[in-house]
Amino acid sequence: MKTYEEVFSELKRKKEGALVAFVVIGDPDYKTSLEIAKKIADSGADILELGIPFSDPIADGKTIQAADVRSLESGMNTDRAFDFVKEFREYTDIPIGFLTYYNLVYQRGIEKFYSDSRKAGVNSVLIADLSIEESADVIKASNKNKVDTVFMVSQLSSDERIKRIASLSNGFIYLVSRLGVTGTRDDLSSSTFSSIKRVRKFTSKPLCIGFGISTLSHVKDVLKAGADGAIVGSAIVDLIGKNTKNKVKMIESIQDYIKNLKDATKIRKK
């Protein structure tokens, strides 16, 4: 299993950005979801972020909410999410990040969640509703089990907070491209690019941009602006949601899309 450090430095050597793909575990069901994850890895994604579905995902827009519903209705739960990762880990060595909400981690027991993550081969955990203020127990479990904790930083975060978040984040830092929840958008705002530059000033850790990244030019633009990776979620999940009745088409369309996105990261970064 590769570490984030290895992946980012290898990409740097190749002058490429990282393509970080996101899907919800168990969307639309365990078996199809595993096929999708494997296809994403095969098609060139550098990192896979896997959502553990939650009943009340307040940081997510309609697309990922719908994926959470599909997954939960198919019987997904935290135990099975760990089974899923174990099975997927046998197939690939790319970094795997969990993305979820605090209550699911808390109910399993923070320490147990992290030690299970280590055993399953998870590289990092990102908890969407965990502020750095509430993170002491999580950081402790994260350090003890050597599973990275990724925090989000927002364009509204003060310089002081950016520094604190950057120092607490391991693996990479997740910059939220805009105000609001996850979901595709036509255009990126100019504030996205200025916040990439601002966060960059305070940290040399890998910086990945997510929320609203869906087109090839979005990917190119955020990498050119200084990001190390682009995170694409809702646009992939959309391909699942649109093709629930045609799994062949679902998987083929995801494969094509990932290949194109990966090509877009090969921009000969400085």
Contact residues for another protein (CB under 8 A)?
A: 54-59, 61, 65, 72, 77-79, 102-104, 106-108, 128-131, 133-134, 151-154, 156-158, 161, 165, 176, 179-181
CB of 39 to another protein, least distance (A): 27
Catalytic residue from among 16, 27, 46, 49: 49
Quick check: is 60 catalytic?
Answer: yes
Q: In whole angstroms, what is the distance from residue 233 CA to residue 104 CA? A: 20
Nearer to another protein, 7 or 181 (CB): 181
When the beta carbons of 153 and 219 are compared against another protein, the nearer one is: 153
Alpha carbon 11 to its chain centroid, in Å, reads: 17
Q: Cβ closer to another protein: 46 or 60?
A: 60
Residue 59 or 267 with smaller CB distance to another protein: 59
Shortest distance, CB of residue 251 to another protein, whole angstroms? 27
134 is catalytic: no
Q: Least distance from C-beta 262 to another protein, angstroms? A: 28
State the catalytic residue, choosing from 46, 60, 228, 238.
60
Tokens of 11: 């990409």
Separation of alpha carbons 74 and 29, rounded Å: 6
Contacts for 239 with CB less than 8 Å, ≥ 6 apart? 250, 253, 254, 257
| Residues annotated as part of the active site | 49, 60
